[in-house]
Chain A
Amino acid sequence: MVRLELSGVRRTYGDVAALRGIDLGVRDGEFFTLVGPSGCGKTTTLRCIAGLETPDAGAIRFGDTDVSDVPPEARGVGVVFQHYALFPTMTVRENVAYGLRFDPPDGSVDERVAAMLDLVDLAGMGDRDPDELSGGQRQRVALARALAPAPDVLLLDEPLSSLDARLRDRLRLELKRVQRELGVTTVYVTHDQAEALAVSDRLAVVHDGRIAQVGEPEAVYDGPETRFVAEFLGENNCLDGRAVGGETEGSLVRAGETEFAVTGDHRGPVTLCVRPESLDVNASHNQFDARVRDVEFLGDGYRVHFEWNGRDVVARLDDAPTGSVTLGFDPADAVVLER
């Protein structure tokens, strides 16, 4: 169990800069997520931590040790890949025991393997071949294999992306339980923002080879610092406008012909962000008329696409409206980003 630190990590492939200077601190025992669109550099970052890629510049520290020049076999990491990467010529037990060949446990190997298989709910499956297992079982074997030598850092690269939705949700909970039980410092890579919000102690949004924002899921969701983060994590209605001084408290944001009241003191060009769930037909503030374009039923409510001033506005509503309605939002629910 160890603290993990990346400073100024860069990696270039030919002319393409994959990492443009990554600075990160992952706390001891934390479940930390790197989330971003494909090609943003999150997997490259993970591979640098594992020692499978060599950064062009920057340092990677496990605790107080600089591991930048340490080969992957000596770093003490456990990695789980998206497509399991189980050794096809070995049984489940041999797969899980593989890392113990190089790092024998204190007790017996058999006991350790049995304990790991028990941990991932695969007790008694040790003699199976990998190709006799379902996708979910394979991924649990991969997890047990990564954890068997008690790594300092657990690295998970899209481990749930190959699985179907229901299984993914269940395995996500299980993963989180195992991680908490062992308290192992964990870096989790995913492109799925909902997964990142659900599972992380803290998360980092990665964008174009850089860290866009780091924080607890609620904090980043409620307080995005850039338009990219605002739109990537969850849905958002973002509108460019100009902030002018307010009367007593807060400010006014002017977009086209309309003015919206917001909290806080803002001046100059800004982007106004309002979450779909913050829009309401009964709101008493910031009202505007919008025309219903599409309605999607989601089970617990509706996602309604409106047209307002020639642009798309999305709202989450309890009832399906028709025709034209008046929408509004609480000034405190809006996020204002300087441009």
Chain B
Amino acid sequence: MGDAHRPVLLRRTRGRLANPAGAPDAIVGWVRAGFPAVRTGLFGFTAYLAVLGTGGAVLVGLPGAYVLARYEFRGRETIRSLTVVPFVLPAIMVAVGFTAMFGTHGALNDLLGVVGLHLTVAFDLPLVVAALTFYNAPLVTRFVVAAADTVDARAVETARTLGAPRWRAFLDVVAPQLLPTFLAAVLLVFVFDFMAFPIVLALGGLQLATVEVWIYSLVSNLDLTEAASLAVLEAAITLTLTYVYLRYERGGGAGTASATVERVPLVGPPSAGRLLAAAYALVALVLYVGPLASMIAESLTRAGSLSTANYAFLLAQQLGSGGTRPTVAVSNSLVFAVGAVAIAVPMGVSVAVVTSDKGRLRRLAGALLMAPLAVSGVVTGIGLLQGLVFGVDVLGYHLSVTGPVAIVAAHAVAGYPFVVRNVAPLLARVEGDLVAAARTLGAGPARAFRDVTLPLVAPGVVAGAAFAFAVSVGEFNATIVLARDGATYTMPIALERYLSNPSIGPYLGPAAAMGTVLLVVTAASFVVVERLGGRWEG
């Protein structure tokens, strides 16, 4: 972020916040101090890292989009649906995977060791960028492929008959239709990268401190005022970018396809495109299957031989590092997830019903939907911590909630957009006439909703619930801020503790085992989502 932008942001935040968390004072103090270089460097570095991560996502995501949009092959639809998985994969687990793959004792070095080589890339900038790419490239792919599906094949054919060669028809007709969606994806990826927390924390530590990591470390030192001021600044930046994103998103998908562009078989005589596809498959294999497979392999080995010791550790009532019991983490995760789903589903369905009406409410709800994505979990966590956990005074009563309730609330907020996104399209397909028919046959509005609408949107509700479950199980950012009392840690938090403080030995094993459990839970949720035709289009 350039200095030129900051005063504008500051004026806005000062005008709107009547000192709810001491933020403006801190900012005023910071401005008076002449923008200390540490913070300039902090935001600057965060933006720099986000640019690198976004670049990686585009570099890996675009060829993927090309392959999926251009070629037809077995498993194409499966791979296309798999692009949603990173969205719900716990980031801390991905960090474990990358450590297992590229770390000093990782799978890559084991392989290289066979030929006598050794590589030291662990805990460095390239690793963080690679992990961010792992996360966000599928998003670029998904957005662009979805946009490509709205391109009218007849328009491309018309361009051909009017004299345009194939590449020219692509440039003139297809590319302009993909551009707004592509830019929207780039912006969204930038926002996500800007807020990336667990990956940077686990793989980079404080040497690669981004705003999020810095906020977290301030919270850890109980310097909540300064943390809040940084959080407000960060939220202002990400919300502004998200607003721009929403404007772009509306511009995308302008085409109304009467027929989609036909895909050519992937298997066939070698061509430049097919060779690219093959090379891409190799990159995707290393980037995606590599870390996950390394993590699973790591979880099944101890001291170089096959062993279930790491899983036995998860079941044993023993203390890990920092007094973290694996069984407590597992049961906490499940209980919180059930609670979060119980809140997120009614919340999401209600929002979907409200947004199905046209008008101003719809736009407002649309913005509300994006908010949990645009504001990082750490900021949500601080908000809940300041507001509810420490308590607020209302009419002479002191209201406060306990840690677990706050965690469930944060998880529900993170998960409900997925419910909305899955229910809303199905709701849009329920014809008004159908409900009208039920009404004229004697059913009241509520009864008509229950008897006619709900069964039609039920698959979306279940898919959304599965998403919300997976999001809750994997949630890290808000949980680590809120799980401060020692007993409310979840699997991702336990994972981070094992990873950052391996006092149980030089093994990645326990972390890898817990990561594998997380992977299984996430994958199971995904199977449910996939079976029910769940969706997460931008």
Contact = CB atoms under 8 A, between A and B. Distances in A.
A71 B162 contact: no
Interface of B: 152, 154-155, 157-165, 172-173, 176-177, 254-256, 258
Contacts of B173: 87, 89
A81 B161 contact: no
Given A73-B165, A85-B154, A98 B254 contact: no
A131 B255 CA distance: 10
Given A72-B160, A89-B254, A101-B164, 6 more contacts: A83-B258, A85-B258, A86-B155, A88-B254, A98-B159, A103-B163
B96 to A, nearest CB: 44
Interface in A47-106: 50-52, 71-75, 77-79, 81-83, 85-90, 98-99, 101-103
A145 interface: yes
Nearest to A82: B258
Contacts of A52: 157, 160-161
A78 B159 CA distance: 10
Given A81-B258, A82-B258, A98-B172, A87 B155 contact: yes
A101 B168 CA distance: 11
Contact of A50 (B157, B159, B164): B157
A83 B151 CA distance: 13
Given A88-B177, A89-B177, A73 B255 contact: no
A329 B254 CA distance: 58
A99 B254 CA distance: 21
B154 A83 contact: yes
11 contacts: A50-B161, A51-B161, A52-B157, A74-B163, A78-B162, A79-B157, A81-B258, A87-B172, A88-B155, A88-B177, A99-B162
A52 B159 CA distance: 11
Nearest to B255: A88
Nearest to B155: A85
A149 interface: yes
A88 B254 CA distance: 6
Contacts of B161: 50-52, 72-73, 75, 77-79, 146, 155
Nearest to B180: A89
A62 B20 CA distance: 78
B165 A83 contact: no
A146 B158 CA distance: 8
B377 to A, nearest CB: 38
Interface in A110-165: 131, 142, 145-146, 149, 155
Contacts of A102: 162-164
B165 A85 contact: no
B38 to A, nearest CB: 46
Nearest to A78: B161
Contacts of A82: 258
B160 A71 contact: yes
A97 B157 CA distance: 16
Contacts of A77: 161
A103 to B, nearest CB: 5
B287 to A, nearest CB: 33
Best-buried of A77, A89, A99, A145 by chain B (most CB within 10 Å): A89
Best-buried of B159, B163, B164 by chain A (most CB within 10 Å): B163
B380 to A, nearest CB: 38
A142 B161 CA distance: 13
A74 B160 CA distance: 8
Contacts of A88: 152, 155, 177, 254-256
Nearest to A103: B163
B162 A85 contact: no
Nearest to A129: B254
A157 to B, nearest CB: 9
A204 to B, nearest CB: 22
A9 to B, nearest CB: 18
Nearest to B159: A98
Contacts of B256: 83, 88
Best-buried of B158, B173, B254, B255 by chain A (most CB within 10 Å): B158
B179 to A, nearest CB: 8
A82 B173 CA distance: 18
A131 B172 CA distance: 18
Nearest to B162: A99
A145 B258 CA distance: 19
A71 to B, nearest CB: 7
A149 B162 contact: yes
A101 B155 contact: no
Contacts of B154: 81, 83, 85
A73 B258 CA distance: 21
Given A87-B172, A87-B173, A89-B177, A73 B160 contact: yes
A149 B152 CA distance: 22
A110 B254 CA distance: 26
A99 B163 contact: yes
A81 B254 contact: no
A43 to B, nearest CB: 11
B155 A72 contact: no
A81 B158 contact: yes
B162 A145 contact: yes
A79 B158 contact: yes
Contact of A89 (B162, B165, B176, B258): B176
Nearest to B154: A85
Nearest to B165: A73
Best-buried of A71, A81, A103, A146 by chain B (most CB within 10 Å): A81
Nearest to A94: B172
A89 B180 CA distance: 11
Contacts of A131: 254
Contacts of B159: 87, 98
A49 to B, nearest CB: 10
Contacts of B165: 71, 73
List 4 tightest A-B contacts by C-beta distance, closest first: A102-B163, A99-B162, A85-B154, A83-B258
A50 B160 CA distance: 9
Contacts of A149: 162-163
B259 to A, nearest CB: 8
Contact of A72 (B152, B157, B172): B157
Contacts of B255: 88
Nearest to A86: B155
A101 B157 contact: no
A275 B154 CA distance: 39
A51 B258 CA distance: 19
Contacts of B152: 83, 85, 88
Given A50-B157, A83-B154, A101 B258 contact: no
